[in-house]
Structure 1
């Protein structure tokens, strides 16, 4: 029996039909993908909404006047996945006002080096850089997390307690969009530490660079020459003066504080500012001592040794040091601070002890004469000792959570902890957070850190065997049988 021959017109029609069917299929697939791209439902399935942006951040992103460029330079950060996921949310809500660029020296070394030279940072750092016009701010990956040091095991890294990505990123965007950087003046003329000194151990060149990365401008100020503190001064820093200020300079500082100015005094055991009366008026008193303790060498070999670096281990529940809880802040050449207790002074209620030592430290009052300091009851000051304190003139006593714009003062019993010789990341974080608090950029912005919640999955051995059997045997065998069946069906 001869087969049925298909006419040429019919064969042509079948081919056209097949082509149209294929084109229609592609059109449907394209339309489904387009609709999925244009209209979709977003949901953060992480526990606690780790990547869900707050309404405050969304409002900031939608009100950006011009694009903000976010440069991600992460060489070996464990937070890269979390950072990338969070930045996708910023891009979603910010649209074309958020530009994200990833810099990888391994892929484009020339471009990475040019960026590092322009913005003056080390490519080995794990940083996210926010750039707006000519202003930029750096956020390191260490600033994005809080660690739970209380449960850290010996020799192991502490687990992450909270993720502060949104808090830090939104604060950085607001900082650069604000425009001109805050001017931080460092007093000179009395042997203070110099922000222009990058090579000598006692200089402040390194911390000056860190301040610039925070969209702040460190500047020198000689009050004997200027006669007054400039109107554009956001913060005045007095770091380790060796000679006391003159009466005219103290009057200028009093006028600055009366006008709701912001002052940071870093005064170690070898410092002498002459500001005792000014600080006492705000409830803060520097003690005439040196903070020391007795310790032992590892293994107890060699007997006792004098520890002359104060260790701050207790931190107040305060925006300036909240992120430091669980860490140890080392302060070389440190003196202690006491808080005034006169009931007649209304400022006393507005002072907070920020950092304290453990009980093992004491304030040695005769440290210049004693070759080997020892604690003398009734003469020396027993621990725990206050190493840093702040006065907040905007705090309303008895009205928790209510603040107004007012004078702010911070006193730290050491200036050496920021010197080129001793500077460490913990000290930098402490000082930068202190500056942000001074500038009333408490960083929180009403945005709370997101708690990290980890879950373990325990699967019994019998269930693991069942899953393995289904995945490795049952499913492949089923497809094999289906394939063989289709083969013989086509042969028939």
Structure 2
């Protein structure tokens, strides 16, 4: 009882100490009583068996206590949900771990949802710089005015001097890992990349509805990308601020001038994402051939698509190449309806990596209109097949790589030029080279040996001091020039190192359209491709957070009645009938 009182109260109160001492005294008196009045008690068999049972029980309790103690001190959680709902995605973990200064999450809700609190505590496990607090705006009026809170449930992020409204919580919309991770990444990032979608030839539009790319565009905006469209016919060249250019299944071929503009953009260190469905000729054969890429016009058939209900023409992929885009995709599935394979040949200076690879049961079908679809070794290509590849090489435009400001060249030329005219240099050389007569030398020696007037000595001392001062002032100028030239050289080397052209080609664009974009990890394939093309750090590539899927079964009134009768009548009746038959047989 004393130990129990200590656990409940949290401290050794007088009551807990009194109960502990009283219990120990009573146990001692009981042991003395047994030794004095029952001398044969300890030798009895029942006493030995009871003692062994007591020691064994006590040992089990101590072991269980130790296990619980270790579990509390260093707990291990196992997430058995389908989408790992209670485990932060690798992207969320890295975003929190890379916080350089404290980030505060202010939740203006006096009655927090336990799921929201659990999510924030999960974030804090991966980074000590993340803090969160639930605030009652009615009591904390100063904080409510500071953040200009308009309604209950608003969530704000504060990072240094910057503040950002994340979302407004409600019973329908709890705190979202996707919004929280993207909000933190957007607030802590100091760069904004612009993604341009090519339009003008029937490309997939950035519109809602089936076949549009609105979901993909919105996902890019949430990741701090700026999304724009452009027409090469009207602008004649790729915009200078373009980080990535996306070409999504144009229905009409591009003009030769447009292809040349895209090739020039790539040669200057640009990045291009090409997504092409079968039976489409975009006119990019020359550009892709320069990179060693070819597109097979045959449709990829996947028998596993029929089993899962998507159809034979939908490729279900869970095999990915070793690349920053797909580094965390192991064991995850992505879907590609009506895809074509991407073929490559080695080209000197180009690094090539397969991104999306089908299984061995797939094949490229040359006659999809023939039923049933069977593999024909004479006209079809057996899997595995590449549905997406990533390529990179050093920028080939010499003007782009070696471009230097003219002012620096003029400065370097002027620093190398001599400040003295040629006539003066020749005169000095002649004066140094011509020997002096002996009489003049003796006269100079005599004059040096003779005492000088005070005025001349003072003048010489002043001249010496001025020369010393000039030397001291000139030395830092030389150092600054050398440091500036060294810094310029480092920047030029870094520019040459970063001057890399990148190209990602998919034999399918439907995987990124509305509806398919949110299927499995299709969104991660698209977003990671754009992130890699925009030269973002590898920490930004990962599997995006997943939201809980609605697994409710909506039953009609008849189905509900049938289920009720089955549970209340048929199941018990079946049990009683089985029991009656067994009793009759054994009677």
Could you state the TM-score of these two structures normalised by the residue count of structure 2? 0.49
Q: What is the 5 A alignment of 1:11-22?
A: none
1:283 to 277, 292, 303: 292
Q: Show the counterpart of 1:353.
A: 354
The structure-2 alpha-carbon separation of the partners of 1:261 and 1:120, relative to structure 1 and needing over 3 Å to count, comes to farther
The structure-2 alpha-carbon separation of the partners of 1:80 and 1:287, relative to structure 1 and needing over 3 Å to count, comes to same
Matches of 1:436 and 1:79 in 2, distance apart? Answer: 26
The structure-2 alpha-carbon separation of the partners of 1:415 and 1:81, relative to structure 1 and needing over 3 Å to count, comes to same
1:248 to 235, 250, 257: 257
Instruction: Quote the offset at 1:229 in angstroms.
Output: 0.6
1:90 to 129, 142, 164: 129
The structure-2 alpha-carbon separation of the partners of 1:334 and 1:235, relative to structure 1 and needing over 3 Å to count, comes to same
Instruction: Quote the offset at 1:205 in angstroms.
Output: 0.9
Give CA deviations for 1:54-90 in whole Å, capped at 9, x if unaligned: 9x9999625xxxx866578998477543213334x11
Q: What is the 5 A alignment of 1:69-468?
A: 70=105, 76=115, 80-87=120-127, 89-91=128-130, 100=132, 110-112=151-153, 123-124=173-174, 126-127=176-177, 129=179, 138=182, 172=185, 176-179=188-191, 181-195=192-206, 197-198=207-208, 200-295=209-304, 307-341=312-346, 345-348=347-350, 350-367=351-368, 369-393=369-393, 404-424=498-518, 425-444=520-539
The root-mean-square deviation of aligned C-alpha atoms, in Å, is 4.2
The structure-2 alpha-carbon separation of the partners of 1:293 and 1:86, relative to structure 1 and needing over 3 Å to count, comes to closer
| Residue ranges of structure 1 left out of the alignment (5+ in a row) | 1-44, 92-98, 131-136, 140-168, 396-401, 448-492
Matches of 2:510 and 2:227 in 1, distance apart? Answer: 18
The structure-2 alpha-carbon separation of the partners of 1:435 and 1:295, relative to structure 1 and needing over 3 Å to count, comes to closer
Matches of 1:355 and 1:225 in 2, distance apart? Answer: 35
The structure-2 alpha-carbon separation of the partners of 1:364 and 1:193, relative to structure 1 and needing over 3 Å to count, comes to same
Matches of 1:446 and 1:184 in 2, distance apart? Answer: 17
Matches of 1:211 and 1:358 in 2, distance apart? Answer: 30
Matches of 1:429 and 1:285 in 2, distance apart? Answer: 25
Are the aligned partners of 2:305 and 2:313 in contact in 1 as well (CA < 8 Å)? no
Query: Structure 1 or 2: larger strand share?
Result: 1
Instruction: Quote the offset at 1:112 in angstroms.
Output: 3.6
Give CA deviations for 1:359-385 in whole Å, capped at 9, x if unaligned: 111111233x43543211121111000
Task: Return the structure number with greater relative CO, CA threshold 8 A, min gap 6.
Answer: 2
The structure-2 alpha-carbon separation of the partners of 1:296 and 1:254, relative to structure 1 and needing over 3 Å to count, comes to closer
Instruction: Quote the offset at 1:100 in angstroms.
Output: 4.7
Question: Mean Cα displacement is larger for which, 263-272 or 381-390?
Answer: 263-272
Instruction: Quote the offset at 1:328 in angstroms.
Output: 1.2
Could you state the TM-score of these two structures normalised by the residue count of structure 1? 0.58
The structure-2 alpha-carbon separation of the partners of 1:279 and 1:120, relative to structure 1 and needing over 3 Å to count, comes to farther
Q: Show the counterpart of 1:33.
A: none
Give CA deviations for 1:401-421 in whole Å, capped at 9, x if unaligned: x97440010011111011113
Which is higher, the Rg of structure 1 or of structure 2? 2
| Residue ranges of structure 2 left out of the alignment (5+ in a row) | 1-72, 77-86, 137-148, 158-163, 396-495, 543-587
Give CA deviations for 1:422-479 in whole Å, capped at 9, x if unaligned: 22251111111111111222333899xxxxxxxxxxxxxxxxxxxxxxxxxxxxxxxx
Q: Matched residue pairs, number? A: 329
The structure-2 alpha-carbon separation of the partners of 1:182 and 1:120, relative to structure 1 and needing over 3 Å to count, comes to farther
